Amino acid sequence: MSISLTEAKAQLRIRHSEQDDYITLLASAATAAIARFIDPDLETFPDDLKAAELLLLEHLFYPADSIDTDEVTGWPLCVAALAWPYRLPTVV
């Protein structure tokens, strides 16, 4: 599970290469955040987790002034909704 530079730039609608290093850094951060959140024993990564990674990347690159966020993760609700079904159960 990871986001390629090509996928990241397509999600962000960017055609130039001036920010490739920064985009790669944010893509890695989004992937790592989702990976820490989900069950580490998950053997396959469905498309909705890939979508969660891409949406989190977009949120990191284009932070919104006002957006509804999940109370637990701080992520946009759409990202949390996609990732939550794959969460390893924990005691809070």
**pLDDT digit string (tens) for 16-54?**
999 999 999 999 999 999 999 998 888 888 999 999 999
Beta-bridge partners for 69: 76
pLDDT exceeds 60 at position 81: yes
Question: What does the domain layout of the chain look like in residue ranges?
Answer: 5-86
CATH of 5-86, one of 1.10.3470, 1.10.730, 1.10.3230, 1.10.1660: 1.10.3230
- Residues whose CB falls within 8 Å of the CB of residue 30, separated by 6 or more in sequence, listed in order: 3, 53, 54, 56, 57, 60
Query: Where does the pLDDT of residue 90 fall: very low under 50, low under 70, confident under 90, or very high at 90 and above?
Result: low
pLDDT computed for residue 9 by the predictor: 98
